[in-house]
A and B are shown apart, each in its own frame.
Chain A
């Protein structure tokens, strides 16, 4: 898992002070020549530039509707008294929003679990079992890695219509699971294939059956890959709008779709959109900061998706 380790570089850099690192690169040479000032100022400016949009959303979400209508969010610097939780209070007593947040959880958690379980089973089969057409089937799977989800929208909406799944949370979960599988199987198959054969054979000699072998040896050893996959999949589905826009009816719509409905009147309802968007971002941001390493490696591994 070399790449996984590389991927963790951002996390690692925290641990090791820069002085211990190998030798100076371009940046430090530029820094040395300009006294470091220009480079630092430039990077601080870039960082601010990247931060300002998100900060604007946060500041807007904490101002009352009349303040929003009257002036820009940067007024909070000169008039901090404007800051208020009232938008959030209102939003969280709005049934459409709270229901949709709950729907997001109901869609995201089962999808993540399903992708991990179904993907692990198949990944293990591809890595350690013998069956006719295995290699051929795996190449098909590799081909499916980059299939755009757009190709599935029309046919699956027909299919779900026939099966009575159209509009339901179940339908959204199944669609996400199916399109998450190629990458999940691919990632886990490659990871499981690296498990030392002796470990599996030893467990087998101890009399472990196929399922026990899978549950007690393969899954625990696959921990890092499963964590990366799970986090990546979780964020992917949590952040999805398109699939839910098509397959979820208003009662099963997640937060992204509920907010999307409000965007058409943009300008008059920033007191709903800004806090709504921010609430929808909280879980991804917490996951991102808590599991940086796994997230980064999941994103890197999923590059082509």
Chain B
């Protein structure tokens, strides 16, 4: 396995050693067979390496020899520095997570009867373009929870566990008892006592937005034996007009679930929520000021800003993992098939539990495959371009920048500096040189065998 993939070879074991020509092919025939490939490779792959190295030492208009200034630029310019940093995050996070998921999926699906269908599904995104995957995830990450499925889920979960703000945009009547007290809360100007029920009228909500609200019940004193400050919170608007401001008129709707706090000397001494008919009763005798805290009026939770400056790179890495976890899974599953079952059985007979068998035997035996998968993904991630270019919106493209994108922007976009572009290209090449050397050394070793 390891042999197979580290070099991109199709077969493991020992590729046959180069042999003497047994067929007696004339040399000129060999030249003819090789010529098309050598011309294409020479002109479009080998020559560009030399050209790029040279070009990276010249200025933007290629008129001056500038030594390593372009490389200095790469590591000092703010945009390229972001790209370097993001590339580092990509190379560390994306392969690790994709390989871990691949390992988990490969192990778990091994003996599930529909494991093949599962693998096919997870592997499928490999077949589509990064452009299509990018568009798919632009849709997933759309900010509006009514459109983007990610935020629809996040907001749904959030609203299940956190109290949803009941009445965004509601406010008291101007010049009434309630006045803004900072931070979006409203507090009564006058202190209130148990003896006089309090009317807390709000406006700013459309009556049609409260289809299920019950009619408000006028504020009344606490029932006999009960003590405490009581009152009503309602929508002080009578459809069709004719209501008296500050007074509960027939047809006006109750605001249920509004949080009401009793404040004494700046401290909250009691708090409650209004009932279905808008009434509340606070367990305190006063005198207290009544406060409607800002949580009643906060704007609706809008979900996560997936493609904002902070999360755009992790979000795009998520899309990449969606595409490539299947690749890791398939390679690891193939490796898993060659793990000798007797070894696992023997360990189990010796009393090892499943976790021990997995971590002490399966994973070490899979180590070569895991390394191949990791290295392959790292090389792949190093050159990541399409996904970032498509998913990051213009406003956060700079925050999501990676080397291949910066190379494109510098050379063919707004940058107009092919000197720096070439330097980035050479940098990308240098980063894969260790793999190159490893492959060559291994081929030589095998050829000698």
Contacts and interface: CB of A to CB of B under 8 A. Distances in A.
Interface of A: 1-4, 6-7, 9-10, 13-14, 17-18, 21-31, 39-40, 42-43, 46-47, 50-54, 56-57, 60, 68, 71-74, 118-119, 121-122, 124-126, 128-131, 134-135, 138-139, 141-159, 174-175, 177-179, 181-183, 185-187, 190-191, 193-194, 197, 200-201, 204, 210, 213-214, 225, 228, 235, 238-242, 245-246, 256, 259-260, 263-264, 266-267, 270, 273-274, 277-278, 280-281, 284-285, 287-288, 292, 295-297, 299-305
15 contacts: A18-B111, A18-B115, A23-B341, A23-B345, A43-B112, A50-B125, A56-B139, A118-B40, A148-B432, A182-B45, A190-B15, A193-B15, A273-B135, A300-B331, A303-B5
Interface in B64-120: 105, 107-113, 115-116, 118-120
B162 interface: no
B330 A146 contact: no
Contact of B123 (A21, A296, A304): A296
Q: Which one of A17, A126, A185, A241 has the highest number of Cβ atoms from chain B below 10 Å of its Cβ?
A: A241
B30 interface: yes
A275 B10 CA distance: 37
B136 to A, nearest CB: 5
A288 B124 contact: yes
A201 B139 contact: no
A155 B120 contact: no
Contact of B116 (A10, A145, A300): A10
A9 B337 contact: yes
Nearest to A146: B432
* Interface class of chain B by DSSP: helix
B429 interface: yes
A147 B330 CA distance: 25
Given A10-B116, A28-B111, A241 B358 contact: no
B29 A129 contact: yes
Interface residues of B, number: 130
Interface stretch (B211-219, B298-306, B438-446): B438-446
Given A3-B12, A210-B25, A239 B30 contact: no
A51 B11 contact: no
B8 A187 contact: yes
B91 to A, nearest CB: 13
Nearest to A231: B127
Contacts of A183: 8
B295 to A, nearest CB: 27
A303 B51 contact: no
Interface stretch (B251-259, B285-293, B418-426): B418-426
Contacts of A154: 48, 51-52, 55, 411, 418, 421-422, 425
A148 B380 CA distance: 9
B394 interface: yes
A190 B9 contact: yes
Contact of B121 (A13, A22, A51, A175): A51
Contacts, number: 394
A280 B132 contact: yes
* Interface class of chain A by DSSP: helix
A277 B133 CA distance: 9
B47 interface: yes
Contacts of A72: 146-149, 152
Interface of B: 1, 4-13, 15-16, 18-25, 27, 29-31, 33-34, 36-38, 40-41, 43-49, 51-52, 55, 105, 107-113, 115-116, 118-132, 134-140, 142, 146-149, 152, 322, 327, 330-331, 333-334, 336-338, 341, 344-345, 354, 357-358, 362, 372-373, 375-376, 379, 382-383, 385-386, 389-390, 393-394, 404, 407-408, 411-412, 418, 421-422, 424-426, 428-429, 432, 435-436, 439-440, 443-444, 447
Contact of B8 (A267, A278, A301): A301
B108 A43 contact: yes
Q: Which one of B33, B386, B428 has the highest number of Cβ atoms from chain A below 10 Å of its Cβ?
A: B33
B10 A201 contact: no
Given A135-B18, A300-B4, A256 B435 contact: no
A256 B129 contact: yes
A1 B418 CA distance: 44
Nearest to B334: A6
A53 B322 contact: yes
A204 B421 CA distance: 52
B10 A301 contact: yes
A283 B242 CA distance: 67
Q: Which one of A1, A153, A284 has the highest number of Cβ atoms from chain B below 10 Å of its Cβ?
A: A153
B428 A145 contact: no
A246 B112 CA distance: 46
Contacts of A177: 40
A149 B116 CA distance: 34
List the 10 shortest-distance A-B pairs measured between CB atoms, nearest first: A130-B21, A239-B129, A178-B44, A155-B48, A288-B127, A122-B37, A28-B111, A303-B5, A155-B51, A125-B33
Contacts of A145: 7-8, 436, 439
B107 A27 contact: yes
A150 B10 contact: no
A47 B329 CA distance: 14
Contacts of A142: 7, 439-440, 443
Contacts of A143: 436, 439-440
Contacts of B5: 3, 300-301, 303-304
